[in-house]
Chain A
Amino acid sequence: MATTLEARVRRGDGIATVALAGDVDGGAREVLDAAYTEAAGAATLLLDFGDVAYINSTGIALIVGLLGRARADGVAVAACGLSDHYRQIFEITRLSDFMSIHADERSARAATQGGAR
């Protein structure tokens, strides 16, 4: 399956923001893996779903896998830019118990720095 996901990693203040654009489904595996590797060393990994229109159960599984790796590596994970629908899905799947959810990157950075310092 052709991948339709792109990821750009920006770093600053101990936070690595992974800006995702496209679909988070089965085709997203390599892109997410590469983004995780590129973000290594940051204390917090912020997944920005602002340009993601579709997440399916396979995509959820990839996020769970990434979250598991981050926990093992001692990296905090946060998410922002989720639509109301996917925010609800992050809540019913309990993903939101393991990653803080924010409206956008700015509020995520503010909350993360406030909490870290």
Chain B
Amino acid sequence: MSTITHSLRRVIFRSGAPRTVAVADEAPAAATQPQQRGGLEIAPNDPIIGYFQSAVGAVDIDGLELDSPALDELRAAGVKLVVPLVTQGELIGLLNLGPRLSEQDYSGEDRRLLETLAAQAAPAVRVGQLVREQQAEVRSRERLDAELAVARLIQQNFLPRQVPQMQGWAVAADYRPAREVGGDFYDFIDLPDGRLGIVIGDVTDKGVPAALVMAATRSVLRASAQRLIEPGAVLERVNEHLCPDIPENMFVTCLYGVLEPASGRLVFANAGHNLPLVALHGATSELRARGMPLGLMTGMSYEETEARLQPGAQLLLYSDGITEAHDPGREMFGGPRLAAAMAEAGGGDGGRLISALLERLRAFTAAAAEQEDDITLVAIRRMPAAAELADFRLESAPGNEREAIARVELALAGEGLEPAQMEQLKTAVAEATMNAMEHGNGFDPERPVRLRVLASAAEVRVCISDHGLGQGDLRTAPPPDLDAKLAGQQTPRGWGLFLIRNMVDELHEHGDDDTHTVELVLHRDARRH
């Protein structure tokens, strides 16, 4: 026994890849191979695998005649006897022995002993292999999850926290990352003279590298936008910046536009991104501009296109995550289907359009399907022209909200609102006016609250302005906790915002240096319950 264990020089075990056999133990002194632990790699097509797999008991290496590179290697390593480790019909390793120290041949008893050892060792080695494989799998999954989390973090850190609020416009955006985060991004940039820079883009590739390129693109674009204004020149500059540093095989599609809210004028340039859609009066059209994606080659120029968004028009920017989504039959959602869905969705603010499009997409892909790629949607709507039915000011004094609702009701008397809608609007107007008088103007008699009542074919809008700074985002304030209030753990107050939010179809707020305005919107076609 001691002779055998002494001359048992190598245990070869299978590594992760099937049919790849590696040496685990130290090499014999006589061996000339440089690899100490790298091991013997047996090619999957080496005939010796089939031979060992079907061999019964120990195999004499010197007696073998096979055209096998692995056999040559075993001989070169001084191996005389091999006991294949086979379990469940699969070769999982080799027990290799050099010459006996006594220089005699291995006896029948030696062989029986080795075969017994091999029969017991094989399943044990296999279990060890499985454990190692599983551990490696867990480690790689953990690493992947951590990478995904980092990519998601980068991505979400660079997306705008809120959408811009502009008088006469409604902006909405939605970003839905796929499980393996892609490189979608969008951005809004405040420019001089009240203009707004609008960005949407998509980095090819996924994960951390794409997220980093996205972050770099966004920063360069933001810096260039302030200095250059012209969208074509901005994209040109960004392209020059990206080209030297961007990893090979990666590029960025990006659309950049500058909007003048007062006139509806939109000038944009396009670096290979999906063409934006404009819907007006139930018809949809594409806005076109040509240009190569960013980061491919230097010296590119970008065509500029000018469009005018009419009152009531809806502009949609999107990423290919929506158009290239598949149904269970592998058919793509596609641009025409998106345009049709957009025309069908009709008026309302961008939030309504986005939910309608996502709803349509869900129905197309079948709800269970995992989202294939990031989906980004940015909807920018110019509000329809409206008639002004009233414009008045009220002193900021407790109780004056009653006068506000009386005058709003009077102004809307001929508008044919359902009585229930009118009641809801009155409650919202009362609450918003109270907030404006108390929190905005501090009940200062010198600072009146201004109310404007506007009506268009699609909606009724009441704008309530004060001289305060607003109280944070009205739309995301947490709802009151009635249980805590009843238990005396919270003040019983704090219902105003909650009531406003629940009484109207849309709620907007915007402000400048000395006024803050809340807009309450009721859709004429909406029936609230």
Please give the residue numbers on chain A whose beta carbons come within 8 Å of chain B beta carbons, in ascending order.
1-2, 23, 25-27, 54, 56-58, 60-62, 64-65, 67-68, 71-72, 83-85, 89, 92-95, 97-98
B494 / chain A contacts, CB cutoff of 8 Å = 57, 61
A93 CA / B495 CA spacing, docked (Å): 8
B interface, by DSSP: helix, strand, loop or mixed? helix
A57 CA / B441 CA spacing, docked (Å): 18
A92 CA / B398 CA spacing, docked (Å): 26
Q: Other CB < 8 Å A-B pairs besides A25-B399, A58-B493, A68-B488, 11 of them? A: A1-B398, A23-B402, A57-B498, A57-B499, A61-B494, A61-B495, A64-B486, A64-B492, A83-B423, A85-B424, A95-B482
Closest to A2 in B: B399
A67-B495 contact, Cβ under 8 Å, with A85-B420, A89-B427: no
Cβ 8 A contact of B495, one of A27, A60, A72: A60
9 contacts between A and B (CB under 8 A): A1-B399, A25-B399, A56-B401, A60-B499, A61-B492, A64-B482, A64-B485, A68-B486, A85-B424
Task: Find out whether the CB atom of B495 lies under 8 angstroms from the CB atom of A92.
Answer: no
- Enumerate the 10 nearest inter-chain pairs by beta-carbon distance, A residue then B residue, closest first: A85-B423, A57-B495, A64-B492, A57-B496, A61-B493, A65-B492, A61-B492, A1-B398, A60-B495, A68-B486
A71 CA / B420 CA spacing, docked (Å): 32
Closest to A54 in B: B402
A92 / chain B contacts, CB cutoff of 8 Å = 502
A94 / chain B contacts, CB cutoff of 8 Å = 482
Cβ 8 A contact of A56, one of B434, B485, B498, B502: B434
A26 CA / B430 CA spacing, docked (Å): 13
| Distance in Å: Cβ of B114 to nearest Cβ of chain A | 79
B interface bracket (residues with beta carbon within 8 Å of A): 20 to 34
Closest to A62 in B: B492
A108 CA / B308 CA spacing, docked (Å): 61
A57-B420 contact, Cβ under 8 Å, with A67-B486, A68-B488, A92-B502: no
Q: Enumerate B430-444 residues with CB–CB distance to A below 8 Å.
A: 430-431, 434
A interface, by DSSP: helix, strand, loop or mixed? helix
Q: Enumerate B363-419 residues with CB–CB distance to A below 8 Å.
A: 398-399, 401-402
B498 / chain A contacts, CB cutoff of 8 Å = 57, 93
Task: Find out whether the CB atom of A57 lies under 8 angstroms from the CB atom of B431.
Answer: yes
Task: Find out whether the CB atom of A89 lies under 8 angstroms from the CB atom of B482.
Answer: no
A61 CA / B495 CA spacing, docked (Å): 7
| Distance in Å: Cβ of B490 to nearest Cβ of chain A | 10
Question: Is B30 part of the binding interface, using a Cβ–Cβ cutoff of 8 Å?
Answer: no
B423 / chain A contacts, CB cutoff of 8 Å = 83-85
Most chain A Cβ neighbours within 10 Å, of B431, B482, B491, B495? B495
Closest to B488 in A: A68
Cβ 8 A contact of B434, one of A57, A61, A65, A68: A57
A65 / chain B contacts, CB cutoff of 8 Å = 492
Question: Is B487 part of the binding interface, using a Cβ–Cβ cutoff of 8 Å?
Answer: yes
A54 CA / B494 CA spacing, docked (Å): 18
A117 CA / B113 CA spacing, docked (Å): 90
B502 / chain A contacts, CB cutoff of 8 Å = 92
